[in-house]
Amino acid sequence: MKLLSLLLSTTLLTSTAAVASAAPNATPRKPTIDHRFDVRVERRDHRVRPAPRTWERLSLLRTTGNRAKVEVGRKAGAIDDLRIQVSRGTVHLKKVLVVFADGSRYVAKIDLRLGAGDAQQIRIPGEARRIESVELRYGKTSRAQLTLSAR
């Protein structure tokens, strides 16, 4: 009987020691995250959209007259958003006319004064689409320099 209890206690001590010695050396591994499939869910309409992309500059404009037109074409691909950023001067932006590749149009009435460092983002309605051209119409300016970007 003593032999059996001695054998059991020895077995328990060696198994406990093996577990105790393995625990301090084992470092928890961080899970690998695959960002290729990140999605953002819009709460207002519950559509799943791709993760936000970076802004791509379409054109750098210096204001002359009361309008400027940028031919976008196929180089930018499908576009969800436009951003107009003022880097110098001030501009009274009145409206933005977007002509899509299929010939349809969208007019964003803004009527906003933007100064150096200000930006205005314009959400294109519906799904991402190819844009043929963007026309900016503005009022008074003070030799403003604008950057038109898209994503």
Kindly give, in sequence order, each residue whose CB lies less than 8 Å from that of residue 66, ignoring residues fewer than 6 positions away: 137, 138, 139
Query: What is d(CA 103, CA 108) in angstroms, rounded to the nearest whole number?
Result: 16
Count of domains in the chain? 1
For residue 42, name the pLDDT band (cuts at 50, 70, 90): very low
For residue 86, name the pLDDT band (cuts at 50, 70, 90): very high
Q: What is the pLDDT of residues 109-150, one digit of tens each?
A: 999 999 999 999 999 998 889 999 999 999 888 889 999 999
Q: What is the pLDDT of residues 19-34, one digit of tens each?
A: 445 555 666 665 555 5
Query: What is d(CA 43, CA 21) in angstroms, rounded to the nearest whole number?
Result: 50
Identify whether 81 is part of a domain.
yes
Instruction: Name the burial class of residue 119, with classes exposed (0-12), middle (13-18) and buried (19+) by CB atoms within 10 angstroms of its CB.
Output: middle
Identify whether 40 is part of a domain.
no
- Pick from 73, 62, 44: nearest CA to 147: 62
Identify whether 90 is part of a domain.
yes
Identify whether 75 is part of a domain.
yes
CATH number for the domain harbouring residue 67: 2.60.120.1380
Identify whether 43 is part of a domain.
no
Kindly give, in sequence order, each residue whose CB lies less than 8 Å from that of residue 1, ignoring residues fewer than 6 positions away: none
Rounded to the nearest 5 percent, the helix, strand and coil shares of the chain are 20, 50, 30
Give the pLDDT of residue 100: 93
Identify whether 146 is part of a domain.
yes
Give the pLDDT of residue 87: 94
Query: Domain residues for 106?
Result: 53-150
Instruction: Name the burial class of residue 105, with classes exposed (0-12), middle (13-18) and buried (19+) by CB atoms within 10 angstroms of its CB.
Output: exposed
Angle ∠(111,118,141) on CA atoms, nearest 5: 55
Identify whether 27 is part of a domain.
no
Question: Does the global pTM surpass 0.75?
Answer: no
Identify whether 29 is part of a domain.
no
